[in-house]
Structure 1
Amino acid sequence: MSTTKESIGFIGVGLMGQGMARNLLDKGFPLTVMGHRNRKPVEELVTAGATEARTPKELASQATIIFLCVTGSPQVEAVLNGPDGIVAGARPGTIVVDCSTSDPGSTIRLAAELEAKGLHLCDAPLGGTPAQAVQGQLSTMIGADDAVFARIKPACEAWAQKVVHLGPVGDGHKMKLLNNFLSMGYGAIYSEALALAQKIGITPQTFNSVLSGSRMDCGFYQTFMKYVLERDRDAHKFTLVNALKDVRYLEGVANAAGVPNPIGNAVKNAYASAVANGRGDDYVPMLSDWIAQQSGVSLAPKG
């Protein structure tokens, strides 16, 4: 069996992508990267041995598997089909792996378009935090046919400790939206509970003394409360504007399926109100401050 590693392209070396790309490099994969606004991650990866491409077309000409870690479906479509896009430079058989949280309908349509051109698109959205990306301890839920999955699995295992093949293209993004509905839903519920608690004389510290270690505790609760209790902005680096995008995509999936999602709508509106008031770049645990402010209380430790 050949041990030759596939040549990897990576577009989007931001909060999650930089750690993922570094793990691919460290595990011996030839790597070409393309950045967006922030030069620092690109320069650090080039120093570590990566090559930089200026356009998706140029990157595609040097890679057999291309990972995308961008904001969502509009960005994926632009990177694929723009004038200097991946499709213009990719060789037949190239696999594009969308690690973004995207709209499954768009993913399935783009996969069919690429297949007609001799290329493959699959979805491998992420579970975990930027810190876990650095450690190679993310999880990924993959929608791909068996042959494509077999090719991408070794590269995914370079940055993920849990790699699950769910089914055909689109299933990864469907599952990711369900996952993010749960996590963003928890964020909205924690925020509302903390605001009410503070209003009736139960401090966040007292609240946490009961919840921490109980059946209601979980990893998401821990990172959320690390911000609430310690004011650690970086405890969970996922922006409110991205959270809103994801719950809006879920709403679209529910609409297309003809399924009511009233709780999903309530969750969406919690994030939408914060984003509409200029808080889009805040991270998810900071939703608690906005919800508390609406009730005339503050969760920040006194003094």
Structure 2
Amino acid sequence: MGKPVIGFIGLGLMGHGMAKNIRKGGYELWVKGNVNRAPVESLIDMGAHECTSPKQMAQICDIIHICLSNSAQVESVIRGADGILAGAREGLIVIDTSTADPTSTLALAEEMSAKGVSMVDAPLGRTPKEAEEGMLDAMVGCDAALFDTVQPVIDCWAGSITRIGDVGSGHKMKLIMNFLAMGYGALFSEAVVLGAKVGIAPQTVRKVIGPSRMGNGFFETFMRYVCDRDRDAHKFSITNASKDVRYVAQMAADAGVVNVMGASIKHYYTHVEAIGSGADYVPMLSDHVGRLNGVDMAEAVKKGQD
């Protein structure tokens, strides 16, 4: 039996690298892009084909990847008039790599199962850099037999693959991961602003905390923006961060869990969205927290260089 035909919907910061590595793995690849033609043309140059709709892709492909921003977009791609379900056939597998609402994921899985379509949730850890290198982390939710089927394809774009449990469990694990990550973003922002306010330069905070037990990979990329003003240090938008923290709040509410920290974290990201700066990346939250406290963080960094 030959290799399955793969589809990919959502060629953004993460999706392009993932799709590229699937193609490099020797799979026939069909893609569906959005407004930005650059990633589509890049993949076509590598031998990929372009679909006109998710429906057409479902008629052609054996396994379809989805990599979109939120559950509403995923639902539209699956349930729409020209969506995956409209063209689905028995045996199709859909791998949703988005960071999504697990309640939505489970509902979609049930709908697709009725048509003989299997749902796998495989959200991502790490950044667009690792997406291009084929070294993302994958948190997979599906039954064991299905995991054996999809693992070779996921292996094209992932350096670490962990089966969390049944469908929906990957998205739950990803929300816990992003709860911690966005919590770091809020906490580090307050820390560097407080430091600047009391006369401790961001560079000093980095020098002391970085090599200590409290340093980590997120701190390193966060401070690369704060201290070096590298806008591309961690390319994850505040809009997406805000959405993820909202999903965490909903998951906690559904589970009957007190989520006091989550509520505090959420307000910072909501504030940045509310003032129209949701396209900023997460480390840039430090600038907004600075402004709330009368601190210009770029100036604080300059003072630290004197």
> Which category of TM-score, normalised to the shorter sequence, fits these structures?
over 0.9
Query: For the Cα contact (< 8 Å) 2:88–2:115, is it kept in 1?
Result: no
Distance 1:160 1:73 in 2: 22
In the aligned structure 2, how far is the partner of 1:14 from the partner of 1:90? 24
Task: Report the equivalent of 2:302.
Answer: 302
> Residue 91 of structure 1 aligns with which residue?
89
Q: How does 1:1-303 map to 2 (within 5 A)?
A: 2=1, 4-300=2-298, 301-302=301-302
Amino acid at match of 1:184: M
**Whole-angstrom CA distance in 2 between matches of 1:228 and 1:282:** 13
Moved over 4 A (4+): none
What is the Cα deviation at residue 177 of structure 1? 0.3
Cα distance in 1 for residues equivalent to 2:121 and 2:128: 19
- The AA in structure 1 aligned to 2:252 is A
Q: CA deviation at 1:302?
A: 2.6
3-state SS of paired residue (2:276): helix
Asked if the contact 2:97/2:124 (under 8 Å) is kept, the reply is yes
Deviations 1:47-80 (A, max 9, x none): 1110001111111111100000001111111000
Q: Which amino acid aligns with 1:172?
A: G
Q: Distance in 1 between matches of 2:149 and 2:88?
A: 17
Q: TM-score, normalised by structure 1?
A: 0.98
Looking at structure 2, the residues matched to 218 and 283 of structure 1 have their Cα atoms a distance apart, in angstroms, of 18
Q: Structure 2: which 5+ residue stretches go unaligned?
A: none
CA-atom RMSD in angstroms: 0.9
1:132 CA displacement:
0.4
Mean CA deviation greater in 97-106 or 146-155: 146-155
Q: What one-letter code is carried by the residue in structure 2 that aligns with 1:126?
A: L
CA distance in 1, matches of 2:59, 2:231: 39
Q: Tell me the CA shift for residue 145 of structure 1.
A: 1.1
Secondary structure (helix, strand or coil) at the match of 1:163 reads strand
Residue 263 of structure 1 deviates from its aligned partner by 0.3
Letter in 2 for 1:170: G
What is the CA–CA distance in structure 2 between the aligned matches of 1:56 and 1:213, rounded to whole Å? 47
Q: In structure 2, how many angstroms separate the alpha carbons of the residues matched to 1:69 and 1:245? A: 15
Tell me the distance in 1 between the aligned counterparts of 2:11 and 2:79: 20
Measured in 2, the distance between the counterparts of 1:150 and 1:112 equals: 21
Cα distance in structure 2, aligned partners of 1:5 and 1:263: 46
Structure 2: how far apart are the matches of 1:31 and 1:147? 23
Q: Which amino acid aligns with 2:200?
A: I
Paired residues, what number?
Answer: 301
Residue type of the alignment partner of 1:53? C
Q: In the alignment, is the contact (CA less than 8 A) between 2:89 and 2:115 conserved in 1?
A: no
SS at 1:150 equivalent: helix
SS at match of 1:121: strand
Give secondary structure in 2 for the equivalent of 1:161: strand
> Structure 2 counterpart of 1:35, which letter?
G
Aligned partners of 1:267, 1:5: CA distance in 2, in Å? 44
> Aligned partners of 1:193, 1:218: CA distance in 2, in Å?
15
Whole-angstrom CA distance in 1 between matches of 2:130 and 2:216: 16
- SS of 1:15's equivalent in the other structure is coil
